[in-house]
Amino acid sequence: MKQIYGGILGLATGDAVGVPVEFKARDSFCVTDMTGYGTHGQSAGTWSDDTSMALATLESIGRCGCIDTTDIMENFIRWYRDASFTAHDEVFDIGNTTANALRKFLHGTAPEECGGKAINDNGNGSLMRILPLAFVDHTPEDIRRVSALTHAHPISVQACQIYVKYAQRLLAGADKREALHVTENGWRAEFARLPELETCTRAEIRSGGYVVHTLEAALWCLLKTENYQDCVLTAVNLGSDTDTTGAVAGGLAGIYYGIGGEKGIPEAWLDKLAAMQQIKDIIEKADTAISG
């Protein structure tokens, strides 16, 4: 199965594993499987805004055949107002910076001017949805434009650029450690720790909503584990923003390890994943458009 399936299903599955324990403190719980209820009262396999916005992005790219930021933003509005691209026709989780950006768009602001530009606007709300760009032709400016729909500060933009470039190196067959080191040119000081990330202890890895911390946590989990399941469980058990850490790590692990077998996304988890046909339909249509 093509790597786009591994990446997007990996993101959705990691998101769903993290949903029941979102906002819980590290080591106040221990997740060992895909479960349900908990924080949001959702059934097992339910994914959140991370997957919804990634699917909205991918659907637009597949339908338009290009990166059209107005169309992507209109898809975000369909999600926000009409619960399109959701697991159970319900929006139950949305970040403040994202919500503010969508309201600006609804009041007539140009799409690429909607994203927060202040230092406090560096949550992980664009990083969590940016993976679809790894599967299409793009420039660093394209990534900036898509991030800026909700998160326009240079820290958020560069986090997205690093993540997509790293994902592309994995798609090209690079080793997960080698791939990180070849992406270093031009990084801001906020990302200085990435090349030595594997030497960090668990206590040194933070897992809240700050975009740099989410990127670090996701990469650390991939580097410190040897299969998809362990990567996602390690990510979710870091606590706090568990669904997004699980989604961002899971997307990379899904690309790297694939689906099924000894190391890939567990089939038992995929069997529980909500709205699987919707996800597959969006991936298939996008893959057909991308493949030309």
- For 136, counting Cβ atoms within 10 Å of its Cβ (0-12 exposed, 13-18 middle, 19+ buried), the class is middle
Radius of gyration of the chain (CA): 17
Provide the residue-wise pLDDT of the chain in tens; the chain has 292 residues.
Answer: 589 999 999 999 999 999 999 999 999 999 999 999 999 999 999 999 999 999 999 999 999 999 999 999 999 999 999 999 999 999 998 999 999 999 999 999 999 999 999 999 999 999 999 999 999 999 999 999 999 999 999 999 999 999 999 999 999 999 999 998 866 678 999 999 999 999 999 999 999 999 999 999 999 999 999 999 999 999 999 999 999 999 999 999 999 999 999 999 999 999 999 999 999 999 999 999 988 7
Cα dihedral sign, 26-27-31-36 = negative
pLDDT of residue 1: 53
Q: Domains for the chain: give ranges and CATH numbers.
A: 44-226+268-291 (1.10.4080.10)
Q: How far, in Å, CA of 180 to CA of 225, rounded?
A: 15
pLDDT of residue 247: 98
- For 137, counting Cβ atoms within 10 Å of its Cβ (0-12 exposed, 13-18 middle, 19+ buried), the class is exposed
pLDDT of residue 185: 73
